[in-house]
Amino acid sequence: MKLHEYQAKELFHRYGIAVPHSHLVRSIEETGQAADALAGSCIVKAQIHAGGRGKVGGVVRVKTSRQARDAARRLLHRPLVTAQTGPHGLPVNSLLVEEIIPVARELYLSLTLDRSSGRYCLIASAQGGVDIEQTARNTPERVSRLTIDPLIGLRAYHARGVARFLGLDGPLAKEAVALILALNRCFLDRDASLVEINPLVVTEEGHLLAMDAKVSIDDSALFRQKEVADWRDETQFDPLEVRAARSDIAYIKMDGRIGCLVNGAGLAMATLDMLSECGGKPANFLDVGGGADQDKVVEAFRILLEDPTVEGILVNIFGGIMRCDLIAASLIAAAKEVGCSLPIVVRMAGARRKEGRQLLEQAELNIVWQDKLASAAAAIVRHLSPAV
Amino acid sequence: MAILIDRRSRIVVQGLTGSSGRRHGLLCRDYGSQVVAGVTPGKGGMNIDGIPVFDTVAEAVELCQVDVSMIFVPPPAAAEAILEAGDAGIRLAVCITEGIPVQDMVLVNRALGDCSMRLIGPNCPGLITPGQCKVGILPSDIHRPGPIGVVSRSGTLTYEAVQQLSNAGLGQSTCVGIGGDPIIGTSFIDVLAMFNDDADTEGVFLIGEIGGTAEEEAAIWIRQNMRKPVAGYIAGVTAPPGKRMGHAGAIVSGGSGRAADKIAALRNSGVEVAENPALMAEVMQKALRSADIAGHDS
């Protein structure tokens, strides 16, 4: 789960990591007042769950509170499209109005999981403010990666080594050690999957400060991270994704016209791949999960049926724990409730396939039955092709 | 012979008194697995359909000589259940639980380095040696005994592959679901090495997906070590970057974890990779033919 920059900075502040003075605002009026409080000269930053804001005018440096209001008028309550948001962008509902801080140097610091070793790693670079993956590719010697043994933990001597690598000495090195250890505490306490400061700046006054902040929380740990779990901003997701999440359905909105309902993440991905191989475009990824009951499956069908971009539905079920007849009964119940005239292609295999097929054949729905994945994908694409 | 489990395996179910543990513990027993004990802290002395329940894994080891544990413990306590199994001298733990916090698994992963127990999973369907023993939630009736080892990060996609293989006359030596989480106990390479040394396995089918670099690492290992033909399929060619596709580990991030790179790496190592999920049995047959193993594709 991603946090907004202002939420991440709030966390950093609590752990003693210096961040710029700022005000979170939600209207043009508040933006002007916040800019006045900073004597006019400030940075106005759109709060969305994506990077690349600076390049598209989502981070604006202003000199007067009037310019701040203009920036707010331009940004607030409309989507901001960046390289990371996809074509529809993400809605800007709040702005962070921040003091301007004269900067001497820009560094990079982050903690994340290294999947190959199964351990957390601390990544640092003296070259901050730019894409770290690019730096790592082009000049790997400028990026340090420290893998942390969880039984030993991140120690002060590790942090001293990183400070040295960043070219920090004297009082700045001491500040860096404290900051790195604080960042690690924050990372572990909050079950983060990523904490990133880019750039971490050395101010002209000679102090370290987190100019930007990116934090993601491990979704699997949200049950024990109640406070941050409550910080979820549902406006940053497609409304159908929000609805699916409430029923614990893995759902991702996509750009095509074919609604997909599958059990199992791997099979769901494979089904999308098969569709695209047949020239079709999925409207969504949907994994209804292994142990779903009828209510959950009905809700999954409702989500597909209520999506206005869906023009046909492909159901692909491999029964194991999930029984095919339960899927069939749920599809019929949802179609009755919502009213459905869309073409539906159903492919079922495994547990109680026959019973599932029988139920569907008795129902008065526009259903085509297929035995194989490839022919099922081809059939739904064929059904929709006249409209192309 | 097969790998990891056979008809002699003696199984304890951690979480046997929960609904999933009970259901699948009994289904495994129906299949022929020797499910001889259960563990639920605080419920020692109970029995589930004749299977005795203990408070600790150590008691199950001592009194029932179990060597394999199937874990159905909910996410908040699952990491501790794995650690307990390792401490009690279990040889193989199979953790079905989905949704264990990554931080817990970082610690488990480190602790397993100092212990002789092998962990399969978490977030996996388990494994099966057809005709002998099942430890997990895989549907029994699609499997046939035979010469193909199957290793996969997925659940239902594995069933799809197995059904295609069985329909094509290609039975399985052992099928192992290694799990869809970012940190798992057993890697593709671990399982490939076991199949390489297994007299009953003539070829291997590998099912990967987007996220991480496990398939690329497996490709390098195959090129250097594998003596048997390998075929495979990678799911997620059309997955949008930055989105988590159901599995916690299935995400393309920062240009790494893409399906296209995994497919290219495997093909470079001589692996036959299916163009789409309908062709899984076909590429397996092709790999066997090129290696001059007839299989049973008459």
Q: Given an 8 Å threshold on Cβ–Cβ distance, is A250 in contact with B246?
A: yes
- Please give the structure tokens belonging to residue B80: 């501790």
The domain containing residue A77 runs over which residues?
Answer: 21-99
To the nearest whole percent, how much of chain A has pLDDT over 70? 99
Give the active site residue among A196, A241, A251, A299: A196
Backbone angles phi, psi at A99, to 5 degrees: -65, 155
Q: How many residues does chain B have?
A: 298
Nearest chain B CA: its distance from A372 CA (Å) = 8
B99 contacts chain A (CB < 8 A): yes
Q: Do A381 and A284 belong to one domain?
A: yes
Q: Do A64 and A173 belong to one domain?
A: no
Residues 175-214 of B with CB under 8 A from A: 180, 182-183, 207, 209-210, 212-214
Count CB neighbours of A39 within 10 A.
12
Summary count for chain B: helices (H), strands (E): 9, 14
Give, for all 298 residues of chain B, the pLDDT tens digit: 689 999 999 999 999 999 999 999 999 999 999 999 999 999 999 999 999 999 999 999 999 999 999 999 999 999 999 999 999 999 999 999 999 999 999 999 999 998 999 999 999 999 999 999 999 999 999 999 999 999 999 989 999 999 999 999 999 999 999 999 999 999 999 999 999 999 999 999 999 999 999 999 999 999 999 999 999 999 999 998 888 887 777 777 767 889 999 999 999 999 999 999 999 999 999 999 998 765 544 4
pLDDT band at A189 (very low <50, low <70, confident <90, very high): very high
Question: What does the pLDDT average to over A276-294?
Answer: 89
Give residue-wise pLDDT tens across range A340-381.
888 999 999 988 889 999 999 898 888 899 989 999 999 999
Is residue A85 pLDDT above 90, yes or no? no
Q: Given an 8 Å threshold on Cβ–Cβ distance, is B237 in contact with A276?
A: yes
Q: Check residue A346 and give its pLDDT.
A: 94
Chain B interface mutation, best of A2, A88, A112, A115, highest count of B Cβ atoms under 10 Å: A115
Q: Is residue A5 part of a domain?
A: no
Backbone angles phi, psi at A84, to 5 degrees: -105, -5
Q: How many angstroms separate the Cα of A380 from the Cα of each of A314, A336, A350, B234?
A: 7, 21, 21, 23
Q: Is residue A122 part of a domain?
A: yes
Chain B contacts of A265, Cβ < 8 Å? 154-155, 180, 209, 245-247, 250
Q: Is residue A260 part of a domain?
A: yes
B140 contacts chain A (CB < 8 A): no
| Nearest chain B residue to A189, by CA | B103
Q: Check residue B294 and give its pLDDT.
A: 53
- The answer to whether B108 and B115 are in contact (CB under 8 A) is no
Question: What does the pLDDT average to over A210-223?
Answer: 96
Q: Does the annotation count A108 as an active-site position?
A: yes
pLDDT band at A87 (very low <50, low <70, confident <90, very high): confident
Q: Check residue B293 and give its pLDDT.
A: 64
Q: Given an 8 Å threshold on Cβ–Cβ distance, is A264 in contact with B217?
A: no
The number of C-alpha atoms within 13 Å of B204 and in the hemisphere containing its C-beta is 31
Q: Do A118 and A207 belong to one domain?
A: yes
Give residue for tokens 């790998």: B3
Is residue A226 pLDDT above 70, yes or no? yes
Give the active site residue among B24, B143, B247, B296: B247
Q: Do A346 and A286 belong to one domain?
A: yes
Q: Do A80 and A108 belong to one domain?
A: no
| Nearest chain A residue to B103, by CA | A191
pTM of the model: 0.92
Q: Check residue B72 and give its pLDDT.
A: 96
Nearest chain B CA: its distance from A217 CA (Å) = 10
Q: Is residue A70 part of a domain?
A: yes
CATH for B139-290? 3.40.50.261
- Sign for the pseudo-dihedral over CA of B278, B280, B285, B286: positive
Q: Is residue A7 part of a domain?
A: no
Q: How many angstroms separate the Cα of A328 from the Cα of each of A316, A322, A331, A361?
A: 11, 11, 5, 10
Q: Is residue A1 part of a domain?
A: no
Q: Check residue A388 and give its pLDDT.
A: 44
- Please give the structure tokens belonging to residue A331: 């599809």
CATH number of the structural domain spanning residue A259: 3.40.50.261
Quick one: A214 exposed, middle or buried, by C-beta within 10 A (0-12, 13-18, 19+)? Answer: middle
B59 contacts chain A (CB < 8 A): no
Q: Check residue B112 and give its pLDDT.
A: 95
3-state secondary structure of A214: strand
Q: Is residue A197 part of a domain?
A: yes
Q: How many angstroms separate the Cα of A275 from the Cα of each of A312, A378, B194, B208, B236?
A: 12, 7, 35, 19, 12
Q: Check residue A335 and give its pLDDT.
A: 85
Count CB neighbours of B147 within 10 A.
19
Backbone angles phi, psi at B152, to 5 degrees: -150, 150
Q: Check residue B297 and give its pLDDT.
A: 47
Question: What does the pLDDT average to over A140-154?
Answer: 95
Q: Check residue A282 and give its pLDDT.
A: 96
Q: Does the annotation count A5 as an active-site position?
A: no
Q: Check residue A323 and give its pLDDT.
A: 85
Sorted by where each begins, the domain ranges of chain B are 10-120, 139-290
CATH for B10-120? 3.40.50.720
B10-120 shares its CATH topology with B139-290: yes
Q: Which of A229, A248, A273 is the last residue of a domain?
A: A229
> Who among B20, B100, B154 is closest to A264 (CB)?
B154
Is residue A223 pLDDT above 60, yes or no? yes
Pick the closest to residue A315 from A349, A352, A280 (CA basis): A349
Q: Do A274 and A161 belong to one domain?
A: no
Q: Check residue B120 and give its pLDDT.
A: 98
CATH number of the structural domain spanning residue A29: 3.30.1490.20
Is residue A206 pLDDT above 70, yes or no? yes
Based on the structure, what is the number of domains in chain A? 3
